Amino acid sequence: MNATAVSHLAPPRLETLRPLEVAGLVQRYDSQSPSGIPDQWQRFTPYIGHILGQLGEVTYGVSYNFDKESNFDYMCGVEVKETRNLPKGFKSLLLPAQKYAVFTHAGHVAGIRATYTAIWSKWLPAAGCRAVDGPTFERYDSKYNPLTGRGGFEIWIPIQW
């Protein structure tokens, strides 16, 4: 794996995710203009900590259900132990057990697109592995401040070696 070919992207760690049930708000986007995602997070934020069955305080931004025109579904969500009694308009998604390359995005959230571009166009081709067709997600823990967009977060890309 030649991760040094990507100068501004720290090498990822490899993780095997256990099955994870995420529930939240879902909206469809065009990958060329996903500008509505910050507004989606603003609508979702008041629910954090008030969702019946929520596990922990970590939040997830899950991209999935891509089509040939590069449209995709994006979920702002949290891990839940069950999907009954979710707030109106919420959907759930089971992230299956899978191996992931986990990248750290240390800068402001506005730079996320550059990080994804570096992962897909530089790191993956140089790494000797391939992405698996499945959900990718951002993982935001307590270090991330949604008011400032700073504090860093992780980007999880499903892979196969």
Quick check: pTM over 0.75? yes
The dihedral over CA atoms of 103, 74, 44, 102, expressed in degrees to the nearest 10, equals: -10
Q: Among 3.20.80.10, 3.10.110.10, 3.40.50.1000, 3.30.420.40, what is the CATH number of 3-160?
A: 3.20.80.10
Poorest-pLDDT segment among 28-42, 98-112, 129-143: 28-42
pLDDT digits (tens, 9 = 90+) for 13-69: 999 999 999 999 999 998 777 789 999 999 999 999 999 999 999 999 999 999 999
pLDDT computed for residue 56 by the predictor? 95
- Picking from 112, 92, 97, the residue whose alpha carbon sits closest to that of residue 153 is 112
